[in-house]
Amino acid sequence: ELKIAIVGAGSSYTPELIEGLSEHRETLPVKEIVLLDINEERLSIMEGFVKRYIKHLNYDVKVWSTTSREEAFTGADFVSTQIRVGGNKARIFDEKIPLKYGLIGQETTGVGGMFNAFRVIPVMIEIAKDVEKYCPNAWIINYSNPTGLVTEALNKVCNVKIAGLCAGGMRPRWWAAEALNVPEEKIYYDYLGLNHMNFSYNMTIDGRPVTDEEFSNIIKKCTTVSQDWMETLHLIPSQYTQYYFHTKERVQQLKEQDKTRGESILELEKQIFREYADETNDQKPKTLAKRGGGGYSKVAIGVMDAIYNDTGKWMVINVANNGTVRFLDDDAVIETACYVSKNGMKPLTIADYPKAIVGLVSAVKNYESLAVEAAITGDKDLALQALVAHPLVRDYDIAKPLLEEMLEAHKDYLPQF
């Protein structure tokens, strides 16, 4: 019987995770779920709601909350981490400040993503050290962004088992299942790249390659990138590659929007938390559907199930490269298709590398590894090198003052600098 600790349980995503666990109660015998957060107000609202919600779901499990990692982690089998250091307030700086310099303002891509990593990595290291101490055999199921950089940092400085997750890797499968009306388990593909910078190709259904017509129908689901460009590439890209392939247009759109995504979410969450706090309410708020992170619980529970039940499932996860992609370092974390079993994630062999995107993937990985090193050491020179290495920044004259302004804006959450 399993004990699961949820770190950052005050997040609005928590009930979806609970719902997923309840749907898998036959295969995942959870006896205890511990909710952990530093925000005691949100934590107590969430504890109250989750207790009503499991009753509503007829889900027999012990739920309690604490602010102590020692209490939460002792005896845990899985530690799910979903933290946002500085909250959406800090995210809004990541979205707004780069735009002043004519660069993409986004929580995972470009300079915003780098600062997200700078804030989250030190805290995730503390959490991982406590996992080492109190539940060394537990798996960390990480959803904290930027998930690839977080995973690489933990691999570097801690001795923990970690799965770096994002629903994005499974999206081509879900898109194809929907577009072609076939069960998702029949769909496989090669997957090359990093979190939010990746490409799927060589897709098969029941072992046969998808036709050109089927391919065209699948890519219609990827609404953020030019259809023509995807036809030309003949690859299914991450939605986030829009920031690389349509940079100028996206910068313009982001400048023109009246609210950033983070600002909208601050408002949405007020509504969502009012509903969570309502003691007569035992169901998921409808507003939650407007919140991103869809597929979150599906992937998280998929991994727990594959590990616990040794199912040998095919899943896309962030793991150390270890020779999978020949043009990247062994300790570089990549997002790739894996075989998941009780021994963890085993990356599958990639048959070929599409030349059109190899340079981009290498360049972004190079930036990421510099940024991870800077996040761990607090070395400002490395941070500047990372920024200039980023293909969306590249210009020293912009990077230099931008770095200073970002360091200043986020200084409360950057103890390492």
Single out the catalytic residue among 134, 191, 201, 240: 240
Query: Which residue has tokens 């909350």?
Result: 65
Which does residue 292 bind out of Mn ion, ligand G6P, none, counting CB within 5 to 8 angstroms by kind? ligand G6P
Report the nearest approach of ligand G6P to the CB of residue 268 (Å).
8
CA–CA separation, 328 vs 251, rounded Å? Answer: 30
**Alpha-carbon gap, residue 338 to 346, rounded angstroms:** 5
What pairing do the DSSP bridges indicate for beta strands 2-7 and 30-36? parallel
Distance (Å, whole) CA 228 – CA 194: 23
Assess 124 for contact with ligand G6P (CB under 6 A).
no
Q: Which of 119, 291, 365, 410 binds ligand G6P (CB under 6 A)?
A: 291
Cα separation of 274 and 271, whole Å?
Answer: 5
Residue with tokens 């992609």: 325
Residue with tokens 């048959």: 351
- Using alpha carbons, select from 238, 247, 260 the residue that is nearest to residue 194: 238
Q: Is the CB of 6 or the CB of 167 nearer to ligand G6P?
A: 167
- The answer to whether 240 is a known catalytic residue is yes
Name which of 107, 74, 101 is nearest 89 in CA terms: 107
- Which one of 161-169, 244-252, 330-338, 408-416 is the stretch in contact with ligand G6P (CB under 6 A)? 161-169
Position among 28, 166, 218, 320 found at the interface with Mn ion (CB under 5 A)? 166
Q: What is the pattern of x (binds ligand G6P, CB under 6 A) and - over residues 104-123?
A: ----x---------------
Give which of ligand G6P, Mn ion, none residue 392 binds (C-beta under 5 to 8 Å, depending on kind): none
Binding mask 254-273 for ligand G6P (x = CB under 6 A): -------x---x--------
Q: Closest distance between ligand G6P and the C-beta of residue 388, in Å? A: 25
Q: How far is the CB of 95 from Mn ion (least distance, A)?
A: 16
Distance CA(379)–CA(382), nearest Å, equals 5
315 touches Mn ion (CB under 5 A): no
Of the candidates 48, 75, 293, 378, which one interacts with ligand G6P according to CB under 6 A?
Answer: 293
End-to-end alpha carbon distance in the chain: 43
* Shortest reach from residue 233's CB to ligand G6P, in Å: 21
Is 167 a binder of ligand G6P (CB under 6 A)? yes
Residue with structure tokens 């021994």?
A: 343
H-only helix segments in 135-246:
147-157, 171-180, 212-219, 227-233, 242-245
For residue 74, the 8-state DSSP code is T
Active-site positions read 240
Residues that bind ligand G6P (CB under 6 A): 108, 145, 166-168, 261, 265, 291-293
